[in-house]
């Protein structure tokens, strides 16, 4: 244990030295040219990727890059997702576009990282079809970005050929958690905080455990220190991130539970809202439900992926709970936190799904009354057990079920909407409304959006708002 921590600290120092070295080089270049270098990051996929992009952005800013909102930049990075096939195809589309931009922009660097890069086939395709890419790295070594840029610049100096100039650094897995590197945040008042990396659950359809590696929890002290620093910096809301936050602490010595971690975070002055994502039903403990029931800061929202309502399919999916377990869990949560908003993920068309299985899913949707749901058509991911199952569902059948599920979810959302109409609720003011500049947009504890008139100086504050009218997915409010 001790040894790993030392390795991590050594690596932090090494990377900071390289960042400083590059910073000096970039400052010298700026003195010569008078032009600052720009960067642009395109992020695909989940909140984990968004958080990684913030870390990448922190490193790039520290080196001396300035952010720009188009791909016409000196450094363009694609942070990729591979959870479903269409995510991969979108990245190839962007690469085609950036390749054409690069022809007219000497010195431009193109990098790709993220989950898709942990797949050999995708990397091989990039090597052959997109040889202009400069840097490829994966999910385990984003902390090395400055070092990879340095290596790429040195390759240029020694004059490598196009293909051997590509710097590729991919790790299959890692124990390392490198702390204390530069960091960036999209919002000044709310922040994502990683608590667990990787996933050990091996749901049979899912590629995540193969691309994000085995589960590793950050130390309590590192998390608390980070959140205290965020609070000092004016952050009011934290979103704790992990593929399965409920299994937080299993590999720590001494063992710590997620509920205990939440209680520590609750004590931090300045933090007013705590969210977390994602919860695996199999690991959601009664201890956590009890903590949620008494907490003043944990938000009234739980994202609890169902995936399927059929106990038969859940077994084949390796989810380790049944339909009855899920419904019982939901009952206990609703009893303890009556105003909780529940959202979920559901997959339609998993191999072997019958009409009866699908109707079990519909039954759970009816019984639970989700506020909203992300619904996915099953996508075959090579390397996962489900990809080799020979009873794949025909596309037209899956699509037809998908549409029926959407109708059911919409009915469920419509029922849930308006629950808080005509009440006064606390709203974290997030931004000026994108459609109407006279309105502000904020969120309730249960994550529902509220639009209301107000001055933009309120952004970042938590204020009471009267919810005048429900519009389904949002409320029209009036500050009180």
Residues that bind ligand SF4 (CB under 6 A): 199, 201-203, 206, 208-209, 243-244, 280
In this complex, which beta carbon is closest to ligand 5AD, that of residue 260 or of residue 354?
A: 354
x/- site string to ligand 5AD, residues 83 to 122, per CB under 6 A? xx--------------------------------------
Q: What's the chain's Rg over C-alpha atoms? A: 23
Cα(231)–Cα(55) distance, rounded to whole angstroms?
18
Considering only 307, 372, 445, 446, the residue that binds ligand 5AD (CB under 6 A) is 307
| DSSP strands (E only) in 164-309 | 167-169, 190-194, 196-197, 216-217, 237-241, 273-277, 301-303
Instruction: Answer yes or no whether residue 305 interacts with ligand 5AD by CB under 6 A.
Output: yes
| DSSP strands (E only) in 292-448 | 301-303, 341-348, 372-377, 424-432, 439-443
Give the C-alpha distances (Å, rounded to integers) separating 311 from 224, 314, 325, 398: 39, 5, 9, 19
Smallest gap from residue 115 Cβ to ligand 5AD (A): 11
Residues forming beta bridges with residue 462, ordered by sequence position: 428
Instruction: Answer yes or no whether residue 347 interacts with ligand 5AD by CB under 6 A.
Output: yes
Cα(340)–Cα(371) distance, rounded to whole angstroms?
10
State both tokens at 469.
């009218």
Contact partner, 201, from ligand 5AD, ligand SF4, none, Cβ < 5-8 Å per class: ligand SF4
Point out which span in 4-12, 371-379, 411-419, 443-451 binds ligand 5AD (CB under 6 A). 371-379
Q: Which of 324, 200, 345, 336 is nearest to 259 (CA)?
A: 336
Smallest gap from residue 185 Cβ to ligand 5AD (A): 23
Point out which span in 73-81, 249-257, 294-302, 378-386 binds ligand 5AD (CB under 6 A). 378-386
Question: Are the C-beta atoms of 442 and 464 separated by less than 8 Å?
Answer: no
Instruction: Report residue 147: phi and psi, to 5°.
Output: -65, -40
Point out which span in 3-11, 15-23, 226-234, 375-383 binds ligand 5AD (CB under 6 A). 375-383
Point out which span in 223-231, 264-272, 374-382, 432-440 binds ligand 5AD (CB under 6 A). 374-382
Smallest gap from residue 199 Cβ to ligand SF4 (A): 3
DSSP type of residue 307: B
Smallest gap from residue 280 Cβ to ligand SF4 (A): 5
Contact partner, 209, from ligand SF4, ligand 5AD, none, Cβ < 5-8 Å per class: ligand SF4
């Amino acid at each position: 244990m001790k040894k790993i921590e030392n390795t991590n600290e050594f690596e932090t120092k090494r990377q900071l030295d390289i960042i400083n070295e590059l910073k000096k080089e970039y400052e010298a270049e700026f003195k010569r040219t008078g032009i600052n270098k720009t960067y642009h990051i395109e992020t695909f996929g989940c909140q984990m990727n968004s958080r990684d992009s913030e870390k990448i952005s922190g490193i790039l800013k520290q080196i001396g890059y300035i952010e720009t909102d188009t791909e016409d930049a000196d450094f363009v990075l694609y942070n990729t997702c591979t959870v479903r096939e269409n995510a991969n195809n979108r990245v190839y589309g962007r690469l085609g576009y950036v390749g054409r931009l690069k022809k007219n922009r000497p010195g431009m660097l193109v990098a790709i990282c993220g989950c898709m890069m942990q797949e050999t086939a995708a990397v091989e395709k990039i090597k052959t079809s997109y040889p202009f890419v400069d840097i490829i790295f994966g999910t385990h070594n984003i902390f090395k970005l400055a070092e990879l840029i340095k290596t790429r610049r040195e390759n240029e100096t020694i004059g490598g050929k196009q293909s051997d100039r590509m710097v590729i650094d991919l790790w299959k897995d890692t124990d390392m958690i490198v702390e204390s590197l530069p960091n960036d945040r999209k919002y000044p008042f709310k922040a994502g905080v990683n608590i667990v990396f990787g996933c050990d659950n091996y749901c049979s359809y899912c590629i995540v455990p193969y691309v994000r590696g085995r589960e590793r929890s950050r130390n309590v002290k590192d998390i608390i220190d980070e959140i205290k620093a965020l609070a000092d910096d004016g952050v009011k809301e934290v979103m704790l991130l992990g593929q399965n936050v409920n299994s937080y602490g299993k590999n720590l010595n001494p063992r710590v539970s997620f509920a205990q971690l939440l209680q520590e975070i609750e004590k931090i002055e300045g933090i007013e809202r705590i969210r977390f994502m994602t919860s695996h039903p199999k690991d959601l403990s009664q201890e956590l439900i009890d903590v949620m029931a008494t907490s003043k800061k944990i938000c009234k929202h739980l994202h609890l992926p169902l995936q399927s309502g059929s106990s038969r399919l859940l077994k084949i999916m390796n989810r380790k709970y049944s339909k009855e377990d899920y419904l019982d869990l939901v009952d206990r949560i609703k009893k303890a936190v009556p105003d909780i908003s529940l959202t979920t993920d559901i997959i339609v068309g998993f191999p072997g799904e019958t009409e009866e299985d699908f109707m079990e899913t519909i039954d759970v949707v009816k019984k639970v009354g989700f506020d909203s749901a992300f619904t996915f058509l099953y996508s075959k991911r090579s390397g996962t057990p489900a990809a080799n199952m020979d009873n794949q569902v025909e596309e037209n059948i899956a699509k037809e079920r998908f549409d029926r599920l959407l109708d059911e979810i919409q009915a469920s959302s419509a029922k849930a909407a308006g629950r808080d109409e005509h009440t006064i609720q606390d709203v974290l003011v997030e931004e000026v409304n994108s459609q109407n500049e006279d309105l502000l947009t904020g969120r309730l504890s249960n994550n529902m959006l509220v639009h209301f008139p107000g001055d933009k100086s309120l952004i970042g504050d938590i204020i009471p708002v009267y919810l005048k009218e429900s519009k389904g997915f949002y409320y029209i409010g009036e500050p009180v």
